[in-house]
């Protein structure tokens, strides 16, 4: 298993600003994922970030709003740009394990509130 | 579209009993299915993975079944304990994509 940390753990932001969330893994991994989770809701995949390639975004999420960096095999960032109250959520990063990355290990999440 | 259904109502059981959680999926043919546990304010934690050619898998007090005909998985916790209280997420995976259910909250009373 991998140990994953996220920064910040929580933040309160003003609308129109941007926040960058960091995800650090204690081992080298190929597949990293970014999710959003509304209270009481399921996890929604934002994008898959594999090192050495551009992030792949899911339907409804665009790079201009959620730019992702993946500079090496242990680190990734997700930026939430031009925030609105609708972006208030928990943002989680995870890494894939297993021969096809099917099992995921999650970070503790970043709780974001946009006023 | 692909849909994952888990009991939206919380499941309340007495300590020592077996908890059974249900996961149904539609418009989907997952190669395998995973179960995760999530505690409040924390990220999900992987518990078990079962493949489409496996009918049942066990790990300590946990048991998972996978019926590809019924498109259903059952998750059992035997001899449940108050520490088992959490939200349990079903996550079928197919085509290198995992879709998470909304989860079922389990409360185990002492």
| Binary contact (B49, A100; C-beta < 8 A) | no
pLDDT tens for each residue of chain A, 115 residues long: 789 999 999 999 999 999 999 999 999 998 899 999 998 888 999 999 988 788 999 999 999 999 999 999 999 999 999 999 999 999 999 998 876 667 899 999 999 999 9
How much is the pLDDT for A101? Answer: 65
Across B1-22, average pLDDT: 92
Contact assessment for residue A76 and residue A53, using Cβ atoms and an 8 Å cutoff = no
Confidence of residue B7 (pLDDT cuts 50, 70, 90): confident
Please tell me which residue of chain A has the smallest CA distance to B9: A40
Please tell me which residue of chain B has the smallest CA distance to A111: B41
Best residue in B37, B98, B104 for a mutation probing chain A (most A CBs within 10 Å):
B98
Pick from A41, A98, A106: CB nearest B102: A41
Across B59-85, average pLDDT: 96
Secondary-structure percent of chain B, ordered helix, strand, coil, rounded to 5? 5, 55, 40
Q: Sort out which chain B residues have CB atoms less than 8 A from A107's CB and list them.
A: 43
Across B72-85, average pLDDT: 97
Distance from CA of B43 to the nearest CA of A (A): 5
Q: Which residues pair with B106 in a beta bridge?
A: B11, B86
Instruction: Return the number of other C-beta atoms located less than 10 Å from residue B14's C-beta.
Output: 10
Q: Which residues pair with A104 in a beta bridge?
A: A96
| Binary contact (A106, B41; C-beta < 8 A) | no
Pick from B46, B97, B103: CB nearest A103: B46
Nearest Cα neighbor of B61 from B10, B9, B108 is B108
Confidence of residue B98 (pLDDT cuts 50, 70, 90): confident
pLDDT in tens, B23-63: 999 988 888 999 999 999 899 999 999 999 998 999 999 99
How much is the pLDDT for B13? Answer: 96
| Binary contact (A42, B103; C-beta < 8 A) | yes
Q: Which residues pair with B71 in a beta bridge?
A: none
The reply to whether B100 touches chain A by the CB within 8 Å rule is: yes
């Amino acid at each position: 298993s991998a140990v994953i940390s996220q920064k910040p753990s929580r933040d309160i932001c003003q609308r129109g600003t941007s926040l960058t969330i960091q995800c650090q893994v204690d081992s080298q991994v190929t597949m990293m994922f970014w999710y959003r989770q509304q209270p009481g809701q399921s996890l929604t995949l934002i994008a898959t970030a594999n090192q050495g390639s551009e992030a792949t975004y899911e339907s409804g999420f665009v790079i201009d709003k959620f730019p992702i960096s993946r500079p090496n095999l242990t680190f990734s960032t997700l930026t939430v740009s031009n925030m609105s109250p609708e972006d208030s959520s928990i943002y989680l990063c995870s890494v894939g394990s297993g021969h096809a990355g099917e099992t995921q290990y999650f970070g503790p999440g970043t709780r974001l509130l946009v006023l | 579209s692909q849909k994952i259904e888990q009991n939206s109502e919380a499941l309340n059981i007495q300590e020592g009993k077996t908890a059974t959680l249900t996961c149904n999926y539609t418009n989907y043919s997952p190669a395998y299915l995973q179960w995760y546990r999530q505690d409040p304010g924390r990220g999900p934690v992987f518990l078990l993975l079962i493949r489409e050619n496996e009918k049942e898998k066990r790990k300590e007090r946990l048991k998972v079944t996978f019926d590809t005909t019924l498109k259903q998985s059952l998750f059992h916790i035997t001899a449940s304990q108050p520490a088992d209280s959490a939200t349990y997420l079903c996550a079928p995976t197919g085509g290198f994509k995992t879709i998470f259910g909304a989860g079922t909250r389990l409360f185990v009373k002492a």
